[in-house]
């Protein structure tokens, strides 16, 4: 079976003043269609660099990244990227922000509006469609950013700590909303987080990376059924997996 996203022998070196820095070292990773994988690891282990390559925003030094078997050569509407900073246009309403991503596609204004409305409804911002970003809470802004990515209809969502700046309650609500949408639409999701609970709650596999050089340390399966529930967070199985991920992140042996 062809992977949705395949990283094959991917390395990346950055040129720095004092010399060269190996940010990623021979990463091999296959993400299947409709998977939800989360990526955790110490700061600087290359999580964002890896995701940037899948997005087509960062070029690999060596190796290649395939999307549906074809090399990634740049960004495209088949991948929606969501960052921690919402990056909304402050002078545009929620609706106009969501429609903006669709302007690059050759579709009618009517179809744009229909798709934007659907995405806005999906993330629960129906009553705020005509509000400006400055009148929204952090969670609502992030919902707007997510709606903008959904509206384009990407097969793959690349999310780099999207809930990192939010309070704990909003975060949990957005996790449930994201899972609900994912289970309905079954896109492929690659989601970076520093929060081990979040990583386990969302994913069917947790990719644990290690630093210096950045590499894949372990891959941990989350054998909990979907839909995930709040009760599951308290279950012995959830605790066991969370402890395993935690241990893999914080007690890593240095690279050989
Ligand atoms: N454009 C760049 N030029 C030089 N070095 C870079 C560049 N981008 C990333 N790096 C370095 O590569 C390493 C990996 O960075 P990256 O942002 O991918 O890590 P990360 O795991 O996402 O970190 P964090 O969890 O702190 O966000 C870091 O040491 C970073 O300083």
Note the pLDDT of residue 61: 92
Q: What is the pLDDT of residue 96?
A: 95
Q: Which CATH class is domain 5-78+154-250?
A: alpha beta
Tell me the pTM: 0.91
Mean pLDDT by groups of 10 residues along the chain of 256 residues = 91 89 95 97 95 95 96 92 85 94 84 92 92 93 89 92 87 90 90 97 98 95 95 96 95 66
69 CA distance to ligand 1 centroid (A)?
Answer: 27
Instruction: Give me the pLDDT at residue 89, please.
Output: 93
With a Cβ cut-off of 6 Å, ligand 1 is lined by: 14, 23, 41, 43-49, 214
Residue whose CA is at the smallest distance from ligand 1 atom 11: 23
ipTM of predicted complex: 0.96
Ligand 1 mean position, distance from CA 95 (Å): 33
- Looking from the CA of 54 toward its CB, the CA atoms found within 13 Å total 34
- In this prediction, residue 101 carries a pLDDT of 81
Give the separation between CA 1 and CA 218, rounded to whole angstroms: 22
Ligand 1: nearest atom to the Cα of 45: 21
State in Å: Cα 14 to ligand 1 middle. Answer: 9
């Amino acid at each position: 079976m062809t992977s949705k996203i395949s990283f094959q022998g991917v390395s990346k070196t950055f040129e720095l003043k004092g010399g060269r820095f190996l940010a990623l070292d021979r990463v091999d990773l296959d993400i299947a269609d409709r998977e939800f994988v989360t990526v955790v690891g110490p700061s600087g282990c290359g999580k964002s660099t890896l995701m940037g390559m899948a997005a087509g925003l960062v070029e690999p030094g060596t190796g290649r990244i395939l999307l549906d078997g074809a090399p990634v050569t740049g960004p495209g509407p088949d991948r929606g990227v969501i960052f921690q900073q919402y990056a909304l246009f402050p002078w545009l309403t929620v609706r106009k922000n969501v429609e903006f991503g669709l302007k690059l596609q050759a579709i009618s204004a009517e179809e744009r509006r229909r798709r934007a409305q659907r995405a806005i409804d999906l993330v629960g911002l129906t009553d705020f469609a005509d509000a400006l970003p400055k009148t929204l809470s952090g969670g609502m802004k992030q919902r707007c950013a997510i709606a903008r990515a959904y509206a384009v209809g990407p097969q793959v969502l690349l999310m780099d700590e999207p809930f990192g700046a939010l309070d704990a309650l909003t975060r949990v609500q957005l996790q449930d909303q994201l899972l609900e949408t994912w289970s309905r639409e079954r896109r492929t999701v690659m989601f970076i987080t520093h929060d081990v609970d979040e990583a386990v709650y969302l994913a069917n596999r947790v990719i644990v990376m290690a630093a210096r050089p950045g590499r894949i340390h372990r891959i941990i399966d989350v054998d909990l059924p979907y839909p995930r529930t709040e009760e599951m967070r308290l279950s012995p199985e959830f605790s066991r997996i969370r402890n395993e991920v935690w241990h893999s992140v914080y007690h890593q042996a240095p690279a050989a």
